[in-house]
Structure formats: C-alpha cells, structure tokens
A = this chain, B = another copy of it.
Amino acid sequence: MKDVAQHAGVSTATVSRVLNGHAAPTPETRVRVLAAIEELGYRPNALARSLRTTSTQTLGLVISDLLNPFFAEIARAVEDEARSHGYCVVIGNADESAEQEATYVRTLLDRRVDGLLLCPATDDPSLVREVSAGGVPLVLLDRTVRGATCPVVRADGSEALTALARRLVGAGHTRIGVIAGPPNTSTGRERTDVLTGSLGGLAQVVHGDFRQESGSQAAAKLIEDGATALVAMDNLMGLGALGEIRARGLQIPHDIALAVFDDQPWFPLLDPPITVIAQPTVEMGRAAARSLLALINGQQPDDVRLTAKLVLRGSLGEAEL
C-alpha cells in the first residue's frame, strides 16, 4: 500500500479512501491511485484490513460430514446465499466427531469469522455456550442442542413420518425396523420418537451413526429379527441398508419394504424407486445463512422450521401408489 501511495504521489490514507469508495478523493486523484494499483498489481491484505476493522466478511460453517450429500447441498446453499451478500464461507468438516467439531469451531473463532453456522454433532450445549459467551453470532442448522438459546433452522419431518407410519401399518407390516440416528443428536432422537410413536408397538429400533456402514449393520440385524419393512433415518444409512438388502438377495418391495429420510438424485433410478422423506435442503441452507446475517446486523431472527415431505415412489409396495 505504501508503494502504491508513493507511486501515485499521495498518502496511504488517500489510497485507502479510494479503495473503500469514500467520497473525499478528487476524481483526478482517484484515477491516479487506481492507475498505480493496476500498474503494481496491488491487492489489499485482507488480514490487515480485518484486524483493523474487526470484520472479516466471512461466515464459518461447521457441518457434520462433507461426504454426506445432504450436508454438501446445505453447504452449497449457505455459500450461495452468503456470497450474494458479499460474505465468504469457510467450511469445517466435523466428521460426526464432537471433538473435531470443537476444534473447528475454535479455529474459526480464532480467525474471527463474523458469525458461525453449526450443525451440532451432539446435543451437548457446552460448545454452543462457549461460542455465545464469546459473543459471536451463532445459528444452529439441521440439529439443535439441549436448551439452545440461539436461532435454529431445521426441517420438521413429523407430518411426513406420521404419514409414512400410516402407510406402513396400512400395508399390513407388523415388524418394522427403524434404522435410527444416534440418540444424542436432536434429529436422531426426534425422528425416531415420532415414527415409533405413530407405529405403536410395531417398531423395532436399532441406532446407527448416520453413516453407511452402520446402516448395513442395522439392516442386517433388523432383517434377521424378521422385519418386513425398513426405515432409514438418513440417506447414508439408507445406502447401507440397500446394500445389505441386495447382498441378501431380497427383493424390494416383495420381500421387504424400504423408505429413507433424505432424498437423493439416484433414489428414483433404483428399481423400484425408493420412497423418501425429502427435506428442503437448499431452503434450509439459505434460511440459515439469512438468519445468521440478520443476527450479525443486530436483528433477532426467529427460528425457522421448514417442512419435510413424504415422496411415494414404490419401495413400500403397491399399497402406496
């Protein structure tokens, strides 16, 4: 910057003013400065700028698993929304590990992100409290924690799950295997509670960890226990369950019915296409980013609850169509 100032025959203050679009500098000075900038290929140092202004124009996003297309899509949506408001997004991948999540949150705070979006790995509120104590704007996404005091953006699958339960019962299933998420995550618990609640005593629950491998194992166990229908509570566990079903040579829906929470582009391509509960991922990401930006601007955004929808495709059997 000093070089630019010298080159243009002005002070660094003037260069800074030109850079920040202040009213002060003469059009004439402005072009001289811009010319010098161009000539020297100068680019301002964002670190120095942020240090001085205490604003990084950056949002932190800590997601549970980058390989889960659900979160990838959320990340994409957050980024789009943020960019359209002049913000950048730094993504941290917690890999469903509370420890790694905490590490990332701290790293992002150390880098002074202007706000943080968090998909908490567990419902333990301590990390959230730590962030709030630091006074950093925080919005929870997809999952919440016990006694959360910050805005939460998530999808409500209750209606869809109840409708799904009705279908399953209506089709005469009496042993329904539920491949649930970890009980210490809000989505893991709530979805399972709603579904088992509406299924009365027909449900058998096995907990997985939102990953493919656990889906296979849970499916194996449930099939051996005589389940005639499976419901996987996220797309990766659904993938695992599907693999297990195929590996055992079972036919969907003849031998076993299947439904999955989360839609994926390839679910309709299976034979039969898989019935799912589709979440409005893009809207969730955008809404979360908007809430966070509002919070940063001193507003008090409300919680957002979007609705997940049951999409019937055939994997529950003829009854559904």
Contact = CB atoms under 8 A, between A and B. Distances in A.
Interface string A62-87: 00001101001101100100000000
Q: State which size class the interface on A falls in.
A: 35 or more
B67 A76 contact: yes
Nearest to A109: B43
A23 interface: no
A207 interface: no
Give chain A's interface secondary structure class: helix
A279 interface: no
B76 A72 contact: no
A107 interface: yes
A244 to B, nearest CB: 10
Interface in A254-282: 264-266, 268-271
A20 interface: no
12 contacts: A41-B134, A43-B106, A45-B112, A46-B107, A47-B47, A47-B56, A47-B112, A67-B73, A75-B93, A239-B266, A242-B266, A264-B266
A166 interface: no
Closest 3 CB pairs of A and B: A46-B110, A46-B111, A47-B51
A211 B29 CA distance: 47
Interface of A: 41, 43-48, 50-51, 56, 66-67, 69, 72-73, 75-76, 79, 88, 90-91, 93, 106-107, 109-112, 133-134, 212, 239, 242-243, 246, 264-266, 268-271
A212 B268 CA distance: 14
A268 B90 CA distance: 34
Nearest to A54: B47
Given A47-B47, A67-B73, A239-B265, 18 more contacts: A43-B106, A43-B109, A43-B110, A43-B134, A44-B110, A45-B51, A46-B110, A46-B112, A48-B51, A66-B72, A69-B72, A76-B93, A90-B91, A239-B266, A239-B269, A242-B266, A266-B266, A269-B270
